[in-house]
Amino acid sequence: MDGFTLLPPRGTRVAVVGGCGGIGRAVVAQAVERGLRVAVLDLPRSMALFPPPDGTLAVGCDAMDEQSVAAAFEAVSREFGGLDAVINLVGFTKERMRLDDMPLAEWQEITSGTLTSAFLVSRAALPLLRAAGGGALVHTASTFGVAVSLPGYGPYAASKAGVINLVRALATECGPDIRVNAVAPGIVQTAFLQGGTGRPEKQERIDADAVTRMLPMRRIAQPEDMVGTFLFLIGPGSAYITSQTIHVNGGLWS
């Protein structure tokens, strides 16, 4: 490892799916600052709210739509030729609702936007990673994918648990040239707490004070707290890490 470099070097080609969300914007900003070649994939309405930085490739993408995802990665392929890394941050929830009150359509929308979207992104991204001779794919899991401590998050929690095992399946099938991991944030101060960037739904806000009292860090995470782990997982410092979910939650289970 030259100079014990941990993070990706300048020129690394990375697609950030959901790059206009709270964590996504922080990841993109740091990636651009480090000289990475960055493609930002997100909903057009999210891009209108938070335009990607100059120098990035902006591509409209609805990660719940098979054709939209395929077209977005084709656009990235035409511009970049291949990809060294993909970071997928897509996921959302809606109004908190008990499972016994939940319509099937609500369940399907949340699981589609959180788990099926991860499958679609993976399937479209893998050929571009292979074209580059291999690389890294990082999905976003969640503390809720391991432990559900609040009611009303059933489909989201089930989907994030699915993402954790999707990562394991992908790592098994795609190694050794492609590494697949996940970052599992805890509670992060982003628009996700109100449903998600670019989405009209409003979710009952999590009690930040109650969460803060549970955390050894004694504060809610900011998007910037997540960036280092995402970039580490696409860099040479994580060359022997695959099939793992790294929890960045302020010590929630301490």
Return d(Cα 158, Cα 163) in angstroms, integer: 9
Based on the residue annotation, tell me whether 153 is a catalytic residue of this protein: no
Cβ neighbours of residue 187 closer than 8 Å, sequence gap 6 or more: 143, 193, 206, 208, 211, 220, 221, 249
Task: Provide the angle, in degrees to the nearest 10, between the axes of the packed helices 117-131 and 154-174.
Answer: 20
Residues 6+ apart with CB under 8 A from 45: 198
Q: Per the residue annotation, which of 50, 73, 156, 232 is the catalytic one?
A: 156
**Which residue, 158, 239, 213, 146, is CA-closest to 185?**
146
According to DSSP, the residues that pair with 139 across neighbouring strands are 182
Closest CA to 126 of 162, 171, 161: 171
- Positions marked active-site: 156
